[in-house]
Amino acid sequence: MRTVDDLLDSGVAGRTVLLRADLNVPLGDGSDSGTITDDGRIRAALPTLQALQDAGARVVVTAHLGRPEGLPDPASSLAPVATRLGELLGAEVAAATDVVGDSARSTVRGLGDGDIAMLENVRFDPRETSKDQAERAALADELVELVGTDAAFVSDGFGVVHREQASVVDVAVRLPAHAGRLVRREVEALRTLTGDPDRPYVVVLGGSKVSDKLAVIESLLPRVDTLLIGGGMCFTFLAAQGHAVGSSLLERGMIETCKGLLEAPGGKIALPSDVVIASEFAADADTRTVPADDVPDGWTGLDIGPDTVQRFASSVTAAATTFWNGPMGVFEMSPFAAGTRGVAQAIADSTAFTVVGGGDSAAAVRALGIDESCFSHISTGGGASLEFLEGKPLPGLAVLGE
| Residue 327 within binding range of ligand ADP, rule CB under 6 A | yes
Residues 6+ apart with CB under 8 A from 102: none
Catalytic residue among 207, 359, 381, 382: 359
Among the candidate windows 182-190, 220-228, 255-263, 353-361, which touches ligand ADP by CB under 6 A?
A: 353-361
Residue number, 157 or 231, with CB nearest to ligand ADP: 231
Per-residue binder mask for ligand ADP (CB under 6 A), 368-387, x = binder? --------------x-----
Residues 6+ apart with CB under 8 A from 359: 382
Look at residue 396 and give the partner it binds from ligand ADP, Mg ion, none, a contact being a CB closer than 5 to 8 Å depending on partner kind.
none
Task: Tell me whether residue 381 is one of the annotated catalytic residues.
Answer: no
Task: Tell me whether residue 11 is one of the annotated catalytic residues.
Answer: no
Closest distance of CB 51 from ligand ADP, Å:
29
Task: Tell me whether residue 41 is one of the annotated catalytic residues.
Answer: yes
CB-CB contact of 72 with 125 (8 Å): no
Q: Which of 50, 194, 208, 376 binds ligand ADP (CB under 6 A)?
A: 208
CB atoms within 10 A of CB 161: 31
Q: Which of 107, 236, 325, 354 binds ligand ADP (CB under 6 A)?
A: 325
Cβ-proximal residue to Mg ion, closest one? 360
Residue number, 180 or 231, with CB nearest to ligand ADP: 231
Look at residue 330 and give the partner it binds from Mg ion, ligand ADP, none, a contact being a CB closer than 5 to 8 Å depending on partner kind.
ligand ADP
- In angstroms, the CA 48 to CA 118 distance is 15
| Residue 38 within binding range of ligand ADP, rule CB under 6 A | no
| Residue 305 within binding range of ligand ADP, rule CB under 6 A | no
Closest by CA to 270, choosing from 237, 223, 228, is 228
Look at residue 332 and give the partner it binds from ligand ADP, Mg ion, none, a contact being a CB closer than 5 to 8 Å depending on partner kind.
ligand ADP
Residue number, 85 or 261, with CB nearest to ligand ADP: 261
Catalytic residue among 174, 209, 223, 311: 209
| Residue 342 within binding range of ligand ADP, rule CB under 6 A | no
Residue number, 23 or 233, with CB nearest to ligand ADP: 233
Q: Which of 24, 107, 167, 361 binds ligand ADP (CB under 6 A)?
A: 361
Number of residues this chain uses to bind ligand ADP (CB under 6 A): 20
CB atoms within 10 A of CB 191: 12
| Residue 270 within binding range of ligand ADP, rule CB under 6 A | no
Residue number, 286 or 372, with CB nearest to Mg ion: 372
Residue type, 258: C
Closest distance of CB 231 from ligand ADP, Å:
4
φ, ψ of residue 158 in degrees (nearest 5): -60, -35
Look at residue 208 and give the partner it binds from ligand ADP, Mg ion, none, a contact being a CB closer than 5 to 8 Å depending on partner kind.
ligand ADP
Task: Tell me whether residue 209 is one of the annotated catalytic residues.
Answer: yes
Contacts with ligand ADP by CB under 6 A lie at: 206-208, 212, 231-232, 249, 301-302, 325-327, 329-330, 332, 358-361, 382
Which amino acids are annotated catalytic? 41, 209, 359, 383
